[in-house]
Structure 1
Amino acid sequence: MTTGQPLGIQLYSVRDDIGPADLDGTLARLAGLGFTHAEPYDILTDPDRLGSALRDAGLSAASAHASVVRHDVTQVLDAAEALGIGTVITPYVDPGSIADRAGVRRLAETLNAAAALAAARGIRIGYHNHDFEFAQEVDGVPAYELLAGLLDPAVVLELDVYWAGVGGADVFELLPRLGDRVRLLHVVHEREPGNDRPVLGVDATGRMGEVFALAAASLELPVVEVVAHHSDVWPLVARNAAYFLAGAAA
């Protein structure tokens, strides 16, 4: 049983099950677990096939991971438009590329320029963090904080709660400061067994109700991401879906 709330999943979570023969079955299986949205990580290889599979599974794709730093912006926007994706999120940059103020500024300028092009097509550009944006400091300030201050307000933020905590951020202090810049959250309740990576900030994985409450005013979609390298990911995906859809994050 679901609460009727939208819930997305980053398809990288089930990357080993996605392929020419398995895409339809994988998406159908995710829909069966109660997910309403899928967040693709590859919209360039075969957008027509992806779009057809999403429709057949009854899943929406409101957002996608596609780097406007590494890929041609026009090609990315063409694919997003074909798939009806409204928010294109750069998911990762080389940590060394934002090790100084000039690098952070270059990234902000790239994202801002892409956002201007995207806006003309009714698409938004976003940014997704890992841990290093918080762990790396530029002139005594976390690189993420500097980047957020340089981004055009049109660039939305998809805050990965787990990675922010690993990087040393207190998400309960961070979310109120970011305000309505945060439109999507990457969330996880239960991680892969054996994932004992230390959370340097406040570990919010068991306090999702509080996280959601802080983000409620601007939150459009929570997106589950679970990555299993040494075990079957499906039980983990199912338990995370059940946790969020049961209203534990409400």
Structure 2
Amino acid sequence: MTTAPPLGIQLYSVREDIGPADLDRTLARLAGFGFTHVEPFDILSDTDRLGAALRNAGLSAAGAHASVLRHDVTDILDAAQALGIGCVITPYVAPGTIADRAGVEQLADTLNAAAETAAARGIRIGYHNHDFEFAQRIDGIPAYELLAARLDPAVVLEVDVYWAGVGGADVFELLPRLGDRVRYLHVVHEREPGNDRPLLGVDTAGRMDEVLALTAASVELPVVEVVAHHSDVWPLVERNAAHFLTGAAA
């Protein structure tokens, strides 16, 4: 099973190729692979330049990573509105800040307050997981479960299926249970060899068709994220795009 467009890619995947001199060329290359959307991880440094590059490449940005814990919420919303971004997703918190129930509740309250502010401007707030939200348990319950229960339903969940599995989750059980709260999905078909973390949960390698089928009714945009530290990331990006769009290797 493949997914029809839209298909996004997290720009952190190609972070070394999005400097001022490379941004237009990089976005055009991603568009050439069939991506229709990108998910920026920096919308504040040069908002106008990013917007122009997106327009030049014919790409959209439905969501972006920007932490409401690290940046002024008004600044984030101003940039998102200028770029036509409808969902701003907090991508990471320090694991120690959600090591107990009080920390989880504080994070949820911060996201809920930001979501209320953002809603007045027609923008949603979201949260993206890594592994530790599932690996860290509080009274025997994964921190992610406590967080999801505390979050206002207006807060969007972006589930990174790889990191969830690393942390100990069974995403084939998790995704149906979260239901339509999951609006964005980080997916990867082929990871960099030797760059995998030990899995505490269920491995999704080779099972992306099942993941996409489980979320077809709710997910607005699957977003590819390919992280390479020891090799050229571009062949991986191209093969992942080809898999999700055509089911064939590039």
Shorter-chain TM range is over 0.9
The CA distance in 1 between the partners of 2:15 and 2:197, in whole Å, is 22
Which stretch has the larger CA shift, 161-170 or 195-204?
Answer: 195-204
The CA distance in 2 between the partners of 1:158 and 1:149, in whole Å, is 15
Q: What SS does the aligned partner of 1:130 have? A: coil
In structure 2, the residue matched to 1:108 is 108
The runs of at least 4 consecutive aligned structure 1 residues that moved more than 6 Å come to none
The CA distance in 2 between the partners of 1:209 and 1:227, in whole Å, is 21
Residue 64 of structure 2 aligns with an amino acid whose one-letter code is A
Aligned pairs for 1:117-156 (under 5 A) are 117-156=117-156
Which stretch has the larger CA shift, 239-248 or 210-219?
Answer: 239-248
Q: What SS does the aligned partner of 1:223 have? A: strand
> C-alpha displacement at 1:152, in angstroms?
0.2
Instruction: Please say if 1:68 is aligned against 2:79.
Output: no
The CA distance in 1 between the partners of 2:126 and 2:241, in whole Å, is 24
Residue 236 of structure 2 aligns with an amino acid whose one-letter code is L
CA contact (8 A) 1:187 1:205 kept: no
Q: What are the superposed Cα offsets for residues 11-67 of structure 1, whole Å, 9 maximum, x if unpaired?
A: 000000110100000000000000000000000001000000001000000000000
Q: What SS does the aligned partner of 1:69 have? A: coil
Residue segments in structure 2 that go unaligned for 5+ positions in a row = none
Q: What are the superposed Cα offsets for residues 198-245 of structure 1, whole Å, 9 maximum, x if unpaired?
A: 121111131011111111111100000001111100000000000000
CA contact (8 A) 1:187 1:223 kept: yes
CA contact (8 A) 2:40 2:63 kept: yes
> C-alpha displacement at 1:3, in angstroms?
6.6
Residue 33 of structure 2 aligns with an amino acid whose one-letter code is L
Aligned pairs for 1:1-250 (under 5 A) are 4-247=4-247
CA contact (8 A) 1:172 1:211 kept: yes
CA contact (8 A) 2:195 2:228 kept: no
The CA distance in 2 between the partners of 1:10 and 1:180, in whole Å, is 21
> C-alpha displacement at 1:133, in angstroms?
0.1
CA contact (8 A) 1:63 1:88 kept: yes
The CA distance in 1 between the partners of 2:176 and 2:44, in whole Å, is 35
TM-score, length basis structure 1: 0.97
Residue segments in structure 1 that go unaligned for 5+ positions in a row = none
Distance 1:143-1:19 versus aligned 2 partners, 3 A rule = same
The CA distance in 1 between the partners of 2:49 and 2:56, in whole Å, is 11
The CA distance in 1 between the partners of 2:19 and 2:104, in whole Å, is 35
TM-score, length basis structure 2: 0.97
Identity, in percent, stands at 83
The CA distance in 2 between the partners of 1:124 and 1:84, in whole Å, is 12
CA contact (8 A) 1:186 1:222 kept: yes
> C-alpha displacement at 1:142, in angstroms?
0.2
In the comparison of the two structures, how many residue pairs are matched?
Answer: 247
> C-alpha displacement at 1:4, in angstroms?
4.3
Q: What SS does the aligned partner of 2:218 have? A: coil
The CA distance in 1 between the partners of 2:210 and 2:44, in whole Å, is 36
> C-alpha displacement at 1:149, in angstroms?
0.1
